[in-house]
A and B are shown apart, each in its own frame.
Chain A
Amino acid sequence: KAGVTQTPRYLIKTRGQQVTLSCSPISGHRSVSWYQQTPGQGLQFLFEYFSETQRNKGNFPGRFSGRQFSNSRSEMNVSTLELGDSALYLCASSRDLGTAYNEQFFGPGTRLTVL
């Protein structure tokens, strides 16, 4: 069974631009969560999508948004990029809603660098 895939793997953008990251979950998984990993803050939860609806949201500004399609694939968008948005963005999929009692499988991440 194919794992979680994320594209692109690496991305370089400049301040003020916007970016879209893509995540394809494991076949049969209906939940997709996004996390940001930085050296200072560690891994932080961004949001979770299930059945094309955002179900949970972390403490991030509105510049961070996402969506989920009917095939469970998800995209994450960051608008008006800031230097502090440079991070590894990880996507995780699970069979059902919620991170408790549902094993989450992580993709390899997209490394975003903002110049």
Chain B
Amino acid sequence: DQQVKQNSPSLSVQEGRISILNCDYTNSMFDYFLWYKKYPAEGPTFLISISSIKDKNEDGRFTVFLNKSAKHLSLHIVPSQPGDSAVYFCAASAYYSGGGADGLTFGKGTHLIIQP
């Protein structure tokens, strides 16, 4: 059973417009969420994260929104640039009160294509 779901395998957006990537999760124990970006032949690169105590986190052109009641998060990229074309993975983790956390649980990724 997939605990982190990215329902759009691919997304095409025009350069300069907003890209919105969505992610849903089912495990209510998750309390830390991350987005990774992956180019072919490279490992994933950390993009932005959000703790469950927040509902929004911004870093430059990237903003992540968390809706805990809906168990939904989204990544907004504004404005979209050609270099943003990549596969984006949503990931989640549950933090133990005694320290440490489970390994990251990843969605299957969304391939974002920025059209010139």
Of all chain B residues, which has the CB nearest A111?
Answer: B41
Q: A42-B109, A43-B106 are in contact. Are A106 and B100 (CB under 8 A)?
A: no
The docked-state distance in angstroms from the alpha carbon of A106 to that of B103 is 13
**B43 near A45: Cβ-Cβ < 8 Å:** no
Majority-rule SS of A interface residues: strand
Of all chain B residues, which has the CB nearest A106?
Answer: B43
- Total inter-chain residue pairs, C-beta < 8 Å: 71
A44 within 8 A of partner (CB): yes
**A45 near B103: Cβ-Cβ < 8 Å:** yes
**A45 near B108: Cβ-Cβ < 8 Å:** no
Point out the residue from B46, B106, B108 that lies within 8 Å of A103, measured CB to CB. Answer: B46
Point out the residue from A47, A90, A97, A104 that lies within 8 Å of B99, measured CB to CB. Answer: A97
Which residues of A approach B to under 8 Å, CB–CB? 4, 33, 35, 42-48, 55-56, 58, 90, 92, 97-101, 103-109
